[in-house]
Amino acid sequence: MVAPSKPTPATVEDLRAVDDNDRLEIIGGTIVEKAIPSREHSFSEGRLGGILHGFNRRPGRRGPGGWWILPEIHVEYSTGEIYCHDVGGWRRERTPEGPTGWPVKLRPDWVCEIVSPKHERQDLVVKPRVLLAAEVPHYWVLHPEEKVLLVHRWTVDGYTVVLRATSGDRVRAEPFDALELDVAELFGDETDD
């Protein structure tokens, strides 16, 4: 009796061969479509980009600077996984020219995933394992429905949650701790004070 062969894992070439691949990822060797973002997801992603705008430039120019921050960015990891991160960031001191190519092959210094219903397992279990192996220093998880921000820091023993915050909290969240963040703003709950 011959054992059934395992399917060949999908590759970047397989992903490139798909006409409309901007919402596709390779997770566990399989091409997977990202969840269609809810209004809450889209709002949080847009708001996060606006809040971190002062970091997305050279240092000293109207804000702390020092980063390349890109939304909906495809990154390929050494495992063959290709994730379309909701937002990813690279420190300019490490990447002076900025990340290039599709998918980007340079490991990010920070990643933020915004949890979509029925995709919690990917954002909370599957992706962090690959990011941990790749030594991505900072991993944020935004959960719009629960109005929660989790900030993870890479350590050799695994990711450590260094901050848990919710709407109503004002925090300094690494690696962007030069800015005090009103967590409510991420979810559209800000007040007029």
pTM to 2 decimals? 0.91
Q: Which domain holds residue 146?
A: 35-187
Whether residue 8 lies inside any domain: the answer is no
CATH number for position 181: 3.90.1570.10
Whether residue 9 lies inside any domain: the answer is no
CB atoms closer than 10 angstroms to residue 46: 11
Whether residue 12 lies inside any domain: the answer is no
Q: Rounded to whole angstroms, how far apart are CA atoms 104 and 102?
A: 5
Tell me what pLDDT residue 58 has: 84
Q: Rounded to whole angstroms, how far apart are CA atoms 11 and 29?
A: 8
Q: Rounded to whole angstroms, how far apart are CA atoms 72 and 104?
A: 12
**Is the CB of residue 12 less than 8 Å from the CB of residue 76?**
yes
Give the mean model confidence (pLDDT) for residues 159-175: 97
Whether residue 113 lies inside any domain: the answer is yes
The count of domains in the chain is 1
Mean pLDDT across the chain:
91
Whether residue 146 lies inside any domain: the answer is yes
pLDDT digits (tens, 9 = 90+) for 107-118: 999 999 999 888
